[in-house]
């Protein structure tokens, strides 16, 4: 290992030892993969999406494999924010690992309430706001699909907390740049993308939709080119740092995002195929930097744009 390579970063005021995070919903609350390796080696953990009250989630089947990926319709099963704070956070506090709490809600008020609760809690590095959820008051239209609704959520959360605020964008939009700019105006400190594009498959033998919930979110290498393109677009218009994700499995995949301008990246479904993927990616980025004589990760960010 070369002494010269610098991978430490500051993103939205969160200090991370390397740019490799793990994506919300694919890494539980850390314990599960803590059996494979020391999770404090990660840049940060984005925990499973939380809601104000516990949620049971969608009926099974919730998963279906697709070419180079999978569709999921988990439906935000989670223990609720209080359940997380009492049962899950104590474990994570044992590690020198920034904990980013992913939150989701039905109303702007839900989001703001959760941010308010988290604001008081020790051991939380930042909040990631998942705006892919349907806005109950606006007839179920996703917050992340309408610039004004996205603004309202982020603005509501911003007022409730001084914690670093990452807003996670949905790819199910016509113009991701417009949403990103609104989110920036509303006071976000960073943007993460992409959440899962909606998809569906039909079970031909049974002649009906394969997922219990009909539609699901697509993840895995199948979506990587879409994700890289959206990162490229968003980095081109906002001043905020961007966390890129979507189909990252290998160091090469991670480098694509970083070169497109992402300051950090997150491994999602890649954990399922290879539980060691995040560590292999950290090592792989370091090796690449050594090979290319790049001493500071900042030199690599957005290199493909120059």
Ligand X SMILES: Cc1cc2nc3c(=O)[nH]c(=O)nc-3n(C[C@H](O)[C@H](O)[C@H](O)COP(=O)(O)O)c2cc1C
Q: Of the candidates 8, 60, 57, 48, which has an alpha carbon nearest to the alpha carbon of residue 271?
A: 48
Tell me the β-bridge partners of 101: 127
C-alpha to C-alpha distances, 168 to 8, 130, 189, 276, 292, nearest whole angstrom: 22, 5, 11, 24, 32
Q: Of the candidates 128, 151, 129, 127, which has an alpha carbon nearest to the alpha carbon of residue 138?
A: 151
Mark 87-126 with x for binding to ligand X (rule: CB under 6 A) and - for no binding: ---------------x------------------------
With CB under 8 A as the contact rule, which of the stretches 3-11, 33-41, 192-200, 256-264 interacts with other proteins? 33-41
135 binds, among other proteins, ligand X, none (CB under 5 to 8 A by kind): none
Of 158-187, which residues contact ligand X (CB under 6 A)?
168
Residue appearing with tokens 């949905």: 170
Non-local (6+) Cβ contacts of 126 within 8 A are: 12, 13, 14, 98, 100, 101, 163, 164, 165, 166, 189
Q: Which is nearer to other proteins, 107 or 132 (CB)?
A: 132
With CB under 6 A as the contact rule, which of the stretches 36-44, 155-163, 230-238, 265-273 interacts with ligand X? 265-273
Q: Which is nearer to ligand X, 5 or 230 (CB)?
A: 230
Q: What minimum distance in Å lies between the beta carbon of 304 and ligand X? A: 20
Phi, psi at 54, each rounded to 5°: -60, 150
Q: Does 269 bind ligand X (CB under 6 A)?
A: yes
Which of 220, 244, 251, 261 is in the footprint of ligand X by CB under 6 A? 220
Q: Does 81 bind other proteins (CB under 8 A)?
A: no
Strands 202-203 and 208-209: antiparallel
Q: What minimum distance in Å lies between the beta carbon of 206 and other proteins? A: 14
Active-site residue list: 133
């Amino acid at each position: 290992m070369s002494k010269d390579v610098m991978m430490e970063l500051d993103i939205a005021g969160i200090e991370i030892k390397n740019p490799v995070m793990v994506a919300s919903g694919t890494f539980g609350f850390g314990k599960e993969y803590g059996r494979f390796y020391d999770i404090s080696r990660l840049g940060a953990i984005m925990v499973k999406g939380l809601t104000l009250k516990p949620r049971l989630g969608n009926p099974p089947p919730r998963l279906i494999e697709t070419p180079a990926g999978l569709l999921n319709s988990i439906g935000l099963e989670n223990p609720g924010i209080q359940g997380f704070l009492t049962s899950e956070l104590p474990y994570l506090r044992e590690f020198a690992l920034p904990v980013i709490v992913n939150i989701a809600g039905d109303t702007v008020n839900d989001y703001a309430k959760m941010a308010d609760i988290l604001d008081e809690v020790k051991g939380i590095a930042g909040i990631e706001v998942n705006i892919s959820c349907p806005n109950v008051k606006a007839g179920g239209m996703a917050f992340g699909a309408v610039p004004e609704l996205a603004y309202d959520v982020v603005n509501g959360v911003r007022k409730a907390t001084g914690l670093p605020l990452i807003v996670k964008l949905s790819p199910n939009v016509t113009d991701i740049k417009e949403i990103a700019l609104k989110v920036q105006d509303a006071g976000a400190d960073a943007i993460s993308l992409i959440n899962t594009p909606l998809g569906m498959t039909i079970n031909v033998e049974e002649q009906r939709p394969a997922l219990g919930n009909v539609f699901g979110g697509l993840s895995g290498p199948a979506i990587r080119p879409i994700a890289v393109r959206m990162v490229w677009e968003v980095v081109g218009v906002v001043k905020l740092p961007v966390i890129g994700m979507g189909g990252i499995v290998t160091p090469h995949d991670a480098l694509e995002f970083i070169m497109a301008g992402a300051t950090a990246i997150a491994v999602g479904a890649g954990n399922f195929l290879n539980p060691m993927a995040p560590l292999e990616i950290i090592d792989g980025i370091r090796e690449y930097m050594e090979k290319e004589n790049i001493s500071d990760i900042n030199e690599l960010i957005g290199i493909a744009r120059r």
